[in-house]
């Protein structure tokens, strides 16, 4: 199992550790609900160093990103970040990702931990079309970079204490290169996967311990806490954010998943993988859609549970589900037949041979 630059701190603090995406990662420290509420109301720190980072550089960098991703990267200017996905050439999704525009010839692709090798192999297939050499213009830096996500309403206020430039006024989905905790050229971004506000800081592995100590010293007066991946999952689900492997994968299209907004068909975007197939889906519709739902009857929906009509006909399956720590009710996402995807539609979740009533809603489930 791999470790991160912060693994020893997790162990010293008594975290419950478990394998995740090939890494020894903290799942929880004081309990998922406690950590979840801490992030919503104050501030928490996630080790997300297991995420992957792939650089694309050179005169053909933009053309390559445009062809391999669904969103229109030409809309990016230096300092902006974009949510996107990699179409797989067959209508599905290789991965979802963040695209950072460093400049017109340099892009950083931040990908999911479990998909780093898969994404790298996928990108290498198309690199020759754009005269990109793997290991040179296309470079996998995933094992060289560590990342902390400092999340919560107090996050930027805390981080301002250890940054050499203004960060409290940064807009959502932007980034800066700045000195953080005395570490020059750190990437400081405001994307987030919790909906609670905050930032992410990318530094070299050797600078990780220095960053960790500085963040916790700066946040001591705010009761800052380390947070495990368990709460990361409940936080993202309350916001209705997709999780690769659950809500999206190689068998789901971005149109089905409600990600049409990151799938662009403009002339400026040009050709890209699956363009015609996805355009047909957008124009003519799809047979199923990813929806959010709240439980009306008491019960906790889980991944894989059936979604049914009142008379017991199966119309879909739950992809993500939990008991919302903030709302104190069961929430989830599911693919259902399109006829049942409209908000307000009554559906039923099969839980231990019982049909429990739920209602289709439009995420986010919890509004900050």
- Note whether 38 and 118 are same-domain residues: no
The answer to whether residue 158 sits within a structural domain is: yes
- Note whether 162 and 128 are same-domain residues: no
Q: Read off the pLDDT of residues 256-286 as tens digits, 9 standing for 90 and up.
A: 999 999 999 999 899 999 999 999 999 999 9
Q: Read off the pLDDT of residues 204-251 as tens digits, 9 standing for 90 and up.
A: 999 999 999 999 999 999 999 999 999 999 999 999 999 999 999 999
- Note whether 47 and 176 are same-domain residues: yes
Beta bridge partners of 293: 332, 360
Our CA angle for 106, 92, 239, nearest 5°, is 75
Given this model, what pLDDT does residue 353 score? 87
- Note whether 41 and 189 are same-domain residues: yes
Task: Find the CATH number of the domain harbouring 291.
Answer: 2.40.30.110
Which pTM does this prediction carry?
A: 0.97
**End position of a domain, from candidates 88, 119, 140:** 140
Contacts within 8 Å (CB) and 24+ apart, 113-117: 113/20, 113/21, 113/22, 113/23, 113/50, 113/51, 113/52, 114/21, 114/22, 114/244, 114/245, 115/52, 115/244, 116/21, 116/52, 116/140, 116/142
Q: Read off the pLDDT of residues 133-170 as tens digits, 9 standing for 90 and up.
A: 999 999 999 999 999 999 999 999 999 999 999 999 99
Task: Give the mean model confidence (pLDDT) for residues 298-320.
Answer: 97
Task: Find the CATH number of the domain harbouring 158.
Answer: 3.30.1360.120
Q: Read off the pLDDT of residues 73-109 as tens digits, 9 standing for 90 and up.
A: 999 999 999 999 999 999 999 999 999 999 999 999 9
Given this model, what pLDDT does residue 83 score? 98
Mean pLDDT score across all residues of the chain: 97
The answer to whether residue 244 sits within a structural domain is: no
Determine the Cα–Cα distance for residues 355 and 307; give it in Å rounded to an integer. Answer: 9
Given this model, what pLDDT does residue 205 score? 98
Task: Give the mean model confidence (pLDDT) for residues 290-296.
Answer: 98
- Note whether 107 and 231 are same-domain residues: no
């Amino acid at each position: 199992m791999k470790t991160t630059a912060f693994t020893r701190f997790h162990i010293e603090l008594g975290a419950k550790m478990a394998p995740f995406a090939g890494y020894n990662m903290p799942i929880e420290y004081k309990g998922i609900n406690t950590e979840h509420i801490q992030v919503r109301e104050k501030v928490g720190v996630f080790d997300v160093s297991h995420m992957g980072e792939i650089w694309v550089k050179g005169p053909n960098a933009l053309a390559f990103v445009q062809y391999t991703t669904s969103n229109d990267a030409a809309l990016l200017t230096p300092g902006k970040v974009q949510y996107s996905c990699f179409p797989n050439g067959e209508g599905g999704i290789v991965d979802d990702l963040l695209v950072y525009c460093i400049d017109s010839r340099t892009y950083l692709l931040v990908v999911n931990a479990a998909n780093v090798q898969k994404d790298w192999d996928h990108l290498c297939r198309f690199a020759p079309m754009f005269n990109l050499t793997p290991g040179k213009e296309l470079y996998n830096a995933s094992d060289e970079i560590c990342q902390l996500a400092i999340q919560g309403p107090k996050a930027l206020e805390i981080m301002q204490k250890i940054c050499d430039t203004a960060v409290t006024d940064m807009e959502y989905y932007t980034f800066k290169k700045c000195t953080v905790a005395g570490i020059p050229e750190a990437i400081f971004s405001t994307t987030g996967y919790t909906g609670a506000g905050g930032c992410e800081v990318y530094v070299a592995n050797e600078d990780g311990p220095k960053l960790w100590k500085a963040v916790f010293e700066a946040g001591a007066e705010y009761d800052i806490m380390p947070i495990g991946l368990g709460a990361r999952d409940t936080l993202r689900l309350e916001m209705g954010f997709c999780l690769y492997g659950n809500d999206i994968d190689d068998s789901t299209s971005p149109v089905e998943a409600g990600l049409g907004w990151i799938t662009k068909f403009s002339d400026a975007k040009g050709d890209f993988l699956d363009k015609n197939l996805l355009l047909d889906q957008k124009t003519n519709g799809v047979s199923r859609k990813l929806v959010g739902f709240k439980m009306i009857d008491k019960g906790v929906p889980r991944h894989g549970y059936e979604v049914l009509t009142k008379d017991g006909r199966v119309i879909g399956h739950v992809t993500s589900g939990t008991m919302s720590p903030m709302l104190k009710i069961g929430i989830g996402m599911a693919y259902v037949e399109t006829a049942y995807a409209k908000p307000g539609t009554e559906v039923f979740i099969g839980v231990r041979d019982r049909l429990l009533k739920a209602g289709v809603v439009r995420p986010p489930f919890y509004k900050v």
